[in-house]
Amino acid sequence: MDQKLLRQREAKCVQDNPPGCTAGCPVHVDARGIAGAVCKEDYSAAFALFHKMVPFPGIISSICDQPCQQSCRRRDLDQPIFIRALEQICVKNTAAKPQVSVPTVKKQQTVAIIGAGLSGLTVGWELATKGYKLVLFEATGRLGGSLWDIPENILPRTLIEQDFSVFQNIPITIHYNTVIDSLDDFAVSYDAVYVGTGSRRNNFGLTEDENGNINVEPISLATSQAKVFAGGSLRRNNAERSAIMSVADGKAAATSIIRFLQQASLTANREKEGVFVSELFNDITGIPTETMVLPANPASGYSLEEAGREAARCLQCECLECVKVCEYLAHYQGYPKRYVREVYNNLSIVMGIHRANKMINSCSLCGLCEEVCPGNLSMAEICQEARQMMVEKGKMPPSTHDFALRDLAFSTSELFALTRHQPGYTTSEAIFYPGCQLAASSPDHVAKAYRFLCEKLSGIGLMLGCCGAPARWAGQETLFREKMQTFITNWRSMGSPRVITACPTCYSLFKENVPDIAVETLWTVLERIGLPEGCQQAFPPQTLAIHDSCTTRYDAVLQTSVRKLLEKLGHQWAELPLNHEKTVCCGYGGLMLYANQEVAHKVIERRINESHFDYLAYCTMCRDNFGGQNKRCFHLLDLIWGVDRQTTAGPGISERQHNRAKLKQQLLSELWREHTEKPELKRKLYIADEVLATMERRQILVDDAAKVIEYAESTGNKLKDVGGEYYIAYFQSGSVTYWVEYLPQADGFVVRNSYCHRIEITE
């Protein structure tokens, strides 16, 4: 991922954008943060947020015209937040007073400020904090200009005096009662000049527009004279004047003066100074309306209780659409823009610890984030690319996907893989490709489905194997291409017939990677040719909540067929909150269940609690994962053939491989009259249920334990327990070393424990 692509992807995430109110405020006051602090009755924090952007909090909280309200998201529901009243109560209820921090080391340049109104004083405030020398010229005998014309009941004089008291601590030379008529001497005596007199009687030799306003560059406030900047009332019509705009002009002019003195660009990268439209997305669907809270006593403003109620109306605007629906993204307590950067940094590490490996490998790659993101940012795409890069660079921890890849090797080996025309046929009009997981979990369903297809259609071949999804999910793109090419070769050897899949993942991968293939799901076929006779009596009619497969989230035809089949079976259905194109993963996709069981279980737990109805799935792993956490979930084939295993996790990892191998043997024997036998273990193993459960968690097959014991017994490489009760032995297979504690029996061995790790033991 290069820097350009990184920036493009980061830009798609809008969560970092400010809320509309902040973007609509000329000085970007954090109204959202203020409302949140008021809700917590933390008025000091609220005041600090306000004062951070506003140098004169008492004055502005009294007379601000609240342009932020025009962009308040609440406005689209009812009425905007009364932010000025919240600012007022923060000023009233904090002991903190306006302060300014002045550096001890002063700069040599001197700036002249003409006019002590809000814009000029803001320039002084901002430049003082940067250490510039300041000289202020004011035509009257006090600071504040026209502020003193505002009635006392609106702007108390104590607030003006309190806010301006900070200038007693600022090293600024003030010349009161000094009228400036010309700037001729200023260009020589000062390094920069700001004009903010508020008077329209003197243009100081600066060019004007047709309305008599001083011409200024809108971003930098530069005028027709070098060194001279102007703002405040001097450059605005009466209708455009406001206290907060004057403060904004002062801030903008101060920035320009600093850039001018540093000989930097006056306008570069300043697009989001002042008012702008935020790109932050905030979904307000379903939010109830609440009218603005008005103070019972307008003269004194909000009570604490009233302020709390009004602050609670704030929507606390944020996007996080993806985080709201994805347990994986929520687990890492951030949002995609941060994750993209973490992934990029992780991939850039040459030496050292790759801390984001687990995060990268925990994504289910389901694509829901892209579907709900207003910018269509896909963490699935990013994590998939990152896994591939980690594999290519040799940075992928072998332990992460080891078992899934070994299981893939089993499913594509002679122990399970099979390609045959229908018995009695030499060509195939179509082939049935059930997928490896349905064969592992419900081999009887595969056999019955194939026989039914053969009864209803002609020339239906059979292919057993794996589409290679685990390799792709693991970032092993070369291995995935090899497995896909094996499928294509076998498929072409059958005459490139139409493919009928029972697995949504196989279906989507074939469509994506085999351009000339005609592929459909078993469900669309069954809707067309009909269901087996009597299948409606398998289970009493009930309402089932449908969980759509994430790998086929955009296949409306498939989803419709599933619902029609459910109707034909005599059942009704309910829709889950996230379904169809917004369905969620069951926790297996992307090998999440292998990389991060904690997150996978959160995903499952959240999904199974979304409805009190029993569930209906058409992906085997979805059914098994939900059933494994005690949620009644039917696979669609369970309803058709009456196999009631809807409340269990299904077979263990060893039995799943055994089921695949046994299914192949059964079909070859019963349909093609070919007899093969899977080699049996030379010695029988006795494994208690609790030990077998431990092996399941550690992803250790019974065959793995058997290999350890066989190796130990044939070579004598074993250790005896100090108490003489059992043996300990190990055997390395690939990147994994397996250990077994066992006891000899007359006809075999008792396995006491088994564990594994990724180290190599040398002599």
- Render 370-410 in DSSP notation, one character per residue: HHH-TT---HHHHHHHHHHHHHHTT-S-HHHHHHHHHHHHH
49-71 pLDDT, tens digit per residue, is 999 999 999 999 999 999 999 99
346 versus 233: the higher-pLDDT residue is 346
Question: Residue 666 class from Cβ within 10 Å (0-12 exposed, 13-18 middle, 19+ buried)?
Answer: middle
Question: Residue 688 class from Cβ within 10 Å (0-12 exposed, 13-18 middle, 19+ buried)?
Answer: exposed
> What number of other Cβ atoms are within 10 A of residue 256's Cβ?
26
Q: Length of the chain in residues, anyone?
A: 763
Evaluate if residue 101 carries a pLDDT over 90: no
Give SS3 for 483.
helix
Helix or strand holding residue 685 (H, E): strand 684-687
For the segment 248-262, the average pLDDT, to the nearest whole number, is 97
pLDDT band, very low/low/confident/very high, at 646 (cuts 50, 70, 90):
low
- Residue found by looking up tokens 């002991």 in the block: 95
For the segment 292-306, the average pLDDT, to the nearest whole number, is 94
Give the tokens for residue 639: 């309803």
For the segment 507-515, the average pLDDT, to the nearest whole number, is 96
595-633 pLDDT, tens digit per residue, is 999 999 999 999 999 999 999 999 999 999 999 999 999
Evaluate if residue 428 carries a pLDDT over 80: yes
Evaluate if residue 17 carries a pLDDT over 90: yes
Euclidean distance between CA atoms 718 and 741, whole angstroms: 10
Euclidean distance between CA atoms 178 and 396, whole angstroms: 73
pLDDT score of 679: 58
Decide: 183 and 228 in contact? Cβ < 8 Å.
yes
Euclidean distance between CA atoms 553 and 578, whole angstroms: 11
pLDDT band, very low/low/confident/very high, at 421 (cuts 50, 70, 90):
very high
Question: Residue 631 class from Cβ within 10 Å (0-12 exposed, 13-18 middle, 19+ buried)?
Answer: buried
For the segment 532-536, the average pLDDT, to the nearest whole number, is 82
| Amino acid identity for residue 603 in this structure | V
Read out DSSP for 417-429?
A: -EEEPPTT-SS-S
In degrees and rounded to multiples of 5, residue 206 shows phi and psi of -85, 145
In degrees and rounded to multiples of 5, residue 497 shows phi and psi of -80, 175
- List all residues 6 or more positions away from 101 whose beta carbon is below 8 Å from its beta carbon: 129
DSSP-H helix ranges across 208-262: 243-261
169 versus 559: the higher-pLDDT residue is 559
For the segment 271-276, the average pLDDT, to the nearest whole number, is 93
pLDDT band, very low/low/confident/very high, at 648 (cuts 50, 70, 90):
confident
Euclidean distance between CA atoms 387 and 405, whole angstroms: 14
- Residue found by looking up tokens 């932020």 in the block: 68
Decide: 751 and 691 in contact? Cβ < 8 Å.
yes
pLDDT score of 102: 86
Decide: 498 and 407 in contact? Cβ < 8 Å.
no
Evaluate if residue 531 carries a pLDDT over 70: yes
Give SS3 for 137.
strand
Give, in order, the Cα–Cα distances in Å from 384 to each of 24, 327, 407, 477, 573: 38, 18, 20, 10, 34
Residues paired with 462 in a beta bridge: 420, 432
Euclidean distance between CA atoms 505 and 510, whole angstroms: 9
Residues paired with 376 in a beta bridge: none
Decide: 339 and 381 in contact? Cβ < 8 Å.
no
Residues paired with 195 in a beta bridge: 114, 230
pLDDT score of 677: 66
In degrees and rounded to multiples of 5, residue 326 shows phi and psi of -120, 115
350 versus 22: the higher-pLDDT residue is 22
Euclidean distance between CA atoms 555 and 552, whole angstroms: 5
Euclidean distance between CA atoms 10 and 6, whole angstroms: 6
pLDDT score of 103: 85
Instruction: Tell me what percent of the residues of the chain surpass a pLDDT of 90.
Output: 80
Evaluate if residue 744 carries a pLDDT over 70: yes
Question: 578: which DSSP letter?
Answer: S
Question: 233: which DSSP letter?
Answer: G
pLDDT score of 680: 61
Residue 735 CA from chain centroid, whole number? 33
Residues paired with 451 in a beta bridge: none
Euclidean distance between CA atoms 35 and 46, whole angstroms: 8
252 versus 644: the higher-pLDDT residue is 252
Would you kindly state where each structural domain of the chain is located, as residue ranges?
Answer: 18-96, 110-261, 321-396, 401-530+652-657, 535-641, 684-757
- List all residues 6 or more positions away from 703 whose beta carbon is below 8 Å from its beta carbon: 654, 657, 681
Residues paired with 520 in a beta bridge: 500
Give the tokens for residue 110: 């001197």
Decide: 428 and 459 in contact? Cβ < 8 Å.
yes
Helix or strand holding residue 111 (H, E): strand 110-114
| Amino acid identity for residue 456 in this structure | K
Helix or strand holding residue 750 (H, E): strand 748-757
For the chain, what percentages of helix, strand and coil (3-state, to nearest 5) are there? 45, 10, 40
Least confident of 171-175, 330-334, 722-726: 722-726
For the segment 11-20, the average pLDDT, to the nearest whole number, is 96
Evaluate if residue 97 carries a pLDDT over 60: yes
Mean pLDDT of the chain: 92
237 versus 477: the higher-pLDDT residue is 477
CA triplet 549, 532, 504: central angle to 5 degrees? 15
Fold of the domain spanning 18-96: Fumarate Reductase Iron-sulfur Protein; Chain B, domain 2 (1.10.1060)
> What number of other Cβ atoms are within 10 A of residue 159's Cβ?
21
Q: Give the CA diameter of the chain.
A: 114
Helix or strand holding residue 710 (H, E): helix 702-715
Euclidean distance between CA atoms 671 and 675, whole angstroms: 10
| Amino acid identity for residue 697 in this structure | R
Give, in order, the Cα–Cα distances in Å from 628 to each of 291, 479, 538, 601: 47, 30, 22, 10
The architecture (CATH level 2) of 535-641 comes to: 3-Layer(aba) Sandwich (3.40)
DSSP-H helix ranges across 582-701: 592-595, 597-608, 620-628, 636-641, 653-671, 689-697
146-163 pLDDT, tens digit per residue, is 999 999 999 999 999 999
Decide: 198 and 243 in contact? Cβ < 8 Å.
no
- State the pairing for strand pair 572-575/543-547: parallel
Question: Residue 608 class from Cβ within 10 Å (0-12 exposed, 13-18 middle, 19+ buried)?
Answer: buried
Fold of the domain spanning 110-261: FAD/NAD(P)-binding domain (3.50.50)
pLDDT score of 199: 67
**Residue 212: left (phi > 0), alpha (psi -120 to 50), or beta?**
left
Helix or strand holding residue 32 (H, E): helix 31-39
Euclidean distance between CA atoms 697 and 708, whole angstroms: 18
Give SS3 for 246.
helix
Helix or strand holding residue 172 (H, E): strand 172-175
Give the tokens for residue 261: 């003195």
Give the tokens for residue 511: 């469509």
For the segment 117-127, the average pLDDT, to the nearest whole number, is 96
Question: 669: which DSSP letter?
Answer: H
Q: Do domains 110-261 and 535-641 have the same CATH topology?
A: no
346-384 pLDDT, tens digit per residue, is 898 876 778 889 999 999 999 999 999 999 999 999 999
CA atoms within 13 A on the CB side of 357: 17
Evaluate if residue 681 carries a pLDDT over 80: no
